[in-house]
Every structure is written in C-alpha cells, then in structure tokens.
Chains A and B, each alone.
Chain A
Amino acid sequence: MRSNGSLLEARVLTAFYGDFQALFDVDFRIERNETVAIIGSNGAGKSTLLKSITGLVRTKAEAIYFDGEAIGGKPAYRIVEQGISMVPEGRCLFPSLSVEENLAIGAYSKRQGPWNLEAVYEVFPMLKEKRIVPATALSGGQQQMVAIGRALMANPRLLLCDEISLGLAPVIIKEIYAQLERISAEGTTLVIVEQDIKRAMAVSDHVYCIREGRVVLEGRPRDLGREEITKAYFGM
C-alpha cells in the first residue's frame, strides 16, 4: 500500500464528452519525484485522463487532489498556477509566435523556480539558434523540444507529457527522453503517456494501463510480466 502524502491523486474519476463517457471510476496516484507511465491503445482514455487533471475536461471537485487540495473542476489556467503543466498531444505550438515567444508565453503564470529561458536553452541548445524562427517551421523533434521547454517555463511540480514520441525518429526520441530523465532528476515529477510500451516501462517507476476508460493494470515495471501487460493493453 502506498502512503497518503501523494502529490496527485485521482479518486473515482469519471469524465464525459457530452453524453459519451470516456473515463469510468479511475483511481490513480502519483508520488513525489517519481515517473509514472500511462499506457493504452488509441482512444483508451489516456489523453482524457491528462485533460481531466489539467482542467480541460470538467470533473467533480473531489475527483482529483493535488498535494491534498481538491482541484477537480477548476479551470485550466488556475491549475497551471498550482504547479501542473502539460505538454499536449500534437505539441500545439502557437504558429503566430516564434520559438522564444512560445517559450516565454509558457511563463505567463509567473511561477517561481529554476526554469527560465537560459535554463531551457541549456537543456535544448539547438533551440537557441532558432529562437526567432516561427515555432511551427521547425522539425518535429525540435518542435517537441519547444513544447517541453514551454511547459517547463511554468516551473511545474508535476509535468504531464502526452504522447511526446509520436511521429519522431527513434534517435530523437532517445535524446528527448534523456533530457526528460535529467528534468526528472532535478526534482520534477513526471507523468508520461505513451503508446510505446517498451519506452514507457524503461523510464517509469510505476505504470498504469488504461483500456476503454478503465484502469486495467497497474504496478512497478519490473513486477509486471510482458504477457500480463499485453493482455491488459489489448484486452485479450
């Protein structure tokens, strides 16, 4: 059993898109400083879970606790102020803004912390050369770095990464994950949503598998067998 001083806790979390129910009674816990992976196939509800945490999808107040405080139902901009930041699926960079402007807007919530432009450029040096270029003119991998940097600029205590390896070459993915490890080492708690099971298992301390809106498996990667995971993932 895990202790109750978790950083983030979801209890009996349900979420709807109109009449369509996307999450059913999800229970979910993230401890400080750990890296949690959420795996599942397309449409399983992984992104919905992240959106519920960040406030883009409405939930009940008691459904989500962050550091002991009920944050469910709060609007997204308030949740950023609390210290939860997300790298959205598909990156969602602002096309009208340059690379540096995208990073700068990440700091809009004015949260204090170690992350600023210089710190981000240190982790992703190739962005510094391209700082005045429109963000969407960059390659996929570089855009992903901008998206991560932008999320870091909010000095989050909890960083959510939604499918950051999608569409990227393995070499780039490897580099990005190396930087993520570094970020995690500096004290940020990470949640990684991935379709790439192997990658997710390799970097995380705890894994949740979601299928059709329900948590069907959870545990430490080294305790979970390959067959077990495959069964849960595909529902066989």
Chain B
Amino acid sequence: MNQAVRIERSTRASHFFVSFGLLLLFLLITAPFYLGRSELYLLVEIFSYLALASLWNLLAGYTGLASIGQQGFVGLGGYSLFALTIFFRMPPILAVLAAGIGAALLAVPTAWVIFRLKGAYFAIGTWVVAEVYRLVFAQVSALGAGSGTSLPTQVVYSIAPTRVLRDNLIYWTGLGLVVAVLALIYLLLRSRWGLALTAIRDSEAAAESVGVDNDRTKFLVYFFTAGATGSVGALISLQKLRISPEAAFSVNDWTAFVIFIVVIGGIGQMEGPLIGTIVFFLLRGFLADFGPWYFMLLGAFAIIITLTMPKGIAGWLAEKFDLDLFPLRRRVRLPKQKSDKNPSKTPKDGPRINYRAIRRL
C-alpha cells in the first residue's frame, strides 16, 4: 500500500515557534506598562534593526540585489518625515507611513538608473545614489543643511500631549512597523513571488525560461524594500527627535551594522535577521565602549563567517538540527516503506541518497 508523498511546510519546531511568538507579541504589546523609558527606547532600536535587516535580507539574500546603499532610503524616510511634519503639519505617526511612500516613489528613478549596473558595480551604484541624496539634503537649509535640525516643539507635542504617551506611541508604532514588515516579507516569500525569487537567485536564465519576469520582480522587491526602509528610517529619526545628513545617511549605522546582522544570523533565511539582531545587540552591550576595536571585531567576524559559515548561525542550526522556525520550506515527506528498515544495507559505493537534501527542496 503506497501512501502518497506529502508536501508540507510546517514542522514541530515552527508550530512551537508560532506559539512562542504569539506569547512574545503579547508581552511586547503590554511592555509600556511595565518597562521604563530607556528600555522602550532600546526596544524600538531593536525593532528598527530587525526590520532593516529583514528587508536587506529580502533584497540581497533572496533577490540577489546586493545593495550597500539602503542608508539612502533610511535618510530619505527621515528627511521626508521632518519635511512632512514641519512644512505640512502632518501628524507624525501618519508621516511615518507617508515617508515610506515617499521613499518608495524615489526608488523608481533610482532603480531606473542603477539597474543598468550588475554585480558589485550595482552595489557601488546604490552607494553613489545614497551619497547623492545625502549631499543634496546637506544643501537644504530649511532642514538644517549640513548640521541638521531638531524636531520643533509643536511637532513633538502633536504626537501626544505627555512625554509618557509620546514614548508609548512611538514604541507601538515601532512594534507595529516591525511586525508588519516581517509579516509582509513572510507572506511574500510564501507566495508565488517567493518561488520566483528563489528561482531568480539560483539561476536568472532558468527563471526566465519558466516565465518569471526577472526585471519586474526585482524592481518590485526593490520598490517594496525601499518604502519599508523609508518608514523605518522615518521612525528612527522621529525617535531621535533630531536629524542630520551624517546620521540619517550613515553607512556605518544603516548598512554596515545591518549587513553584519544578516551575515552572522544567516543570509537567505528569515530566521537569520532575528538571530543576527540578538547577537548584534548582545555584542553591542558588551563591546561598544571599545570604539574602533568593536568595529574591527564586527568586520573580522563578518569576513570569517562569510568564508567559513556562509549560511550564518541560522544555516548552521538548520543543518545540524534541521531546525526551521518560519514555516517556509516545502518538505517532501517520503512514505515509509518496508525496505527502509535496514538503511545500512545500502552499498557504500553506490549513489548516496541524502534524505535531508531532498527535504530541503
């Protein structure tokens, strides 16, 4: 009697993870009621980095667009927020979303120009564009030019009348933003688009031959990540209550750290940014006082991990323990056959069937 071969996505681990995630979400939503100001601030930072890392992972790890210019959209988001709230009196929380839309719109001409470049030159092209945005905003005196500006008091008050309420609102916006980003990425990867991305990443030529429109898919992903990155950037500047070209467009803060997080956590897997963000903040807690040594360590780590553990910690966990937290991979469950009882009887020199590899498809 042959049982049918089943294709599944969830595993026991992912079921556990979902329950754990829901509990965590509840704790996070209620956090303002039992955590202090600085803890909330730190949590928003963590949310921001998690979101940025997940987005960069989608862009580079899944779509193969190695961008080192995402700081451009972070800065665009920040400056858009400041402009919208200062000049157009938009409610700041709403402006976080609007700033994202603004960043996404600017991604259109950006992509049109830099998609002409390939590979590493594409990466540098993204950096050039980010620099252009930075240099342009450094000339806008209405927003403080080179030294930047602080968010005016009436705008700050328009978030909420009391400081506690302001902090909470910003916190909940941050939480909402990161949950939305993760959910959207997950849904995207689970859909037909996700398959298309994996196909493009593995072989562009093969993907085209089965009907994937490479350019359009890549552009849509770029568009989406630019917008989401812009919103995160808006939130970051909102929390700081201050903006400057150096800070908003910082390569170190918004690209180097983000890349580090994804590389250590694991590129091309959703669990990667999650693990990487935790590791990053732990390291930061212990080492940030050491200044340049801290950066040197991060740089060295990134190099070593890229060369020796290319799939990062998440990849290592997936191989060692077959652990999959986000139910994304489709697993082939082979039916149990009587002849499987003695697998050691497989001839040593014959073809070796790697069941794990099959499950990984």
**Contact surface of A with B, Cβ cutoff 8 Å:** 14, 19-21, 24-25
The yes or no answer to B341 lying at the interface (CB within 8 A) is: no
The CA-CA distance from A86 to B357 in the complex, in Å, is 35
Number of chain B residues whose Cβ lies closer than 8 Å to a Cβ of chain A: 6
B354 close to A19 (CB less than 8 A): yes
The yes or no answer to B340 lying at the interface (CB within 8 A) is: no
The minimal Cβ–Cβ distance linking B185 to chain A, given in whole angstroms, is: 30
A14 close to B354 (CB less than 8 A): no
A19 close to B352 (CB less than 8 A): yes
The CA-CA distance from A98 to B352 in the complex, in Å, is 45
Interface of B, helix, strand, loop or mixed by DSSP: loop
B349 close to A24 (CB less than 8 A): yes
In the complex formed, the residue of A with least CB distance to B352 is A19
Chain A residues near B351: list those with CB within 8 A: 20-21
In the complex formed, the residue of B with least CB distance to A14 is B349
**10 A-B residue contacts at CB 8 Å?**
A14-B349, A19-B352, A19-B354, A19-B357, A20-B351, A21-B350, A21-B351, A21-B352, A24-B349, A25-B349
Which B324-354 residues have a C-beta within 8 angstroms of A?
349-352, 354
The minimal Cβ–Cβ distance linking B36 to chain A, given in whole angstroms, is: 54
Chain B residues near A19: list those with CB within 8 A: 352, 354, 357
Chain B residues near A24: list those with CB within 8 A: 349
**Contact surface of B with A, Cβ cutoff 8 Å:** 349-352, 354, 357
In the complex formed, the residue of A with least CB distance to B351 is A21
Known: A19-B352, A19-B357. 8 other contacts (CB 8 A): A14-B349, A19-B354, A20-B351, A21-B350, A21-B351, A21-B352, A24-B349, A25-B349
In the complex formed, the residue of A with least CB distance to B357 is A19
In the complex formed, the residue of B with least CB distance to A25 is B349
The minimal Cβ–Cβ distance linking A3 to chain B, given in whole angstroms, is: 28
The CA-CA distance from A24 to B349 in the complex, in Å, is 8
The CA-CA distance from A25 to B349 in the complex, in Å, is 8
The minimal Cβ–Cβ distance linking B349 to chain A, given in whole angstroms, is: 7
Chain A residues near B350: list those with CB within 8 A: 21
Identify the interface centre among A14, A19, A20, A25: most chain B CB within 10 Å of its CB. A19
Chain B residues near A20: list those with CB within 8 A: 351
The CA-CA distance from A115 to B354 in the complex, in Å, is 48
In the complex formed, the residue of B with least CB distance to A19 is B354
The minimal Cβ–Cβ distance linking B125 to chain A, given in whole angstroms, is: 26
Chain B residues near A14: list those with CB within 8 A: 349
The CA-CA distance from A109 to B341 in the complex, in Å, is 54
Chain A residues near B352: list those with CB within 8 A: 19, 21
The CA-CA distance from A24 to B347 in the complex, in Å, is 12
The CA-CA distance from A14 to B351 in the complex, in Å, is 11
The minimal Cβ–Cβ distance linking A10 to chain B, given in whole angstroms, is: 15
Chain B residues near A25: list those with CB within 8 A: 349
The minimal Cβ–Cβ distance linking A44 to chain B, given in whole angstroms, is: 16
The CA-CA distance from A25 to B351 in the complex, in Å, is 12
